[in-house]
Amino acid sequence: MLRTVFTIGLFAVLGLIALKLVFGVLPVVVGLFIGLAILALKIAFVGFLIYLVIRIVSPDTARKLRERFSSY
């Protein structure tokens, strides 16, 4: 009976340590993901602006780029 009590206590302590670890690391991971997503959106926006300028200045070059990067 004493062994069962100690086992339950051990699992409770391990569970608390696991929860502290998960909730301690989770905000860092979410913050990193959001930061990378914002960076990717900025890069995509700059690429879109460059493509838009190329499309206005040289439509033939824009067509070649579209054909090159299109998967169709």
Residue 49 has pLDDT above 80, yes or no: yes
pTM over 0.75: no
pLDDT tens digit sequence for 21-30? 888 888 888 8
3-state secondary structure labels for all residues of the chain = CHHHHHHHHHHHHHHHHHHHHHHHHHHHHHHHHHHHHHHHHHHHHHHHHHHHHHHHHCHHHHHHHHHHHCCC
> In the chain, pLDDT over 90 holds for what percent of residues?
47
Domain count, the chain: 1
The domain containing residue 49 runs over which residues?
2-69
Residue 72: band (very low, low, confident or very high) from pLDDT cuts 50, 70, 90: low
Nearest-angstrom CA–CA distance, 40 and 56: 24
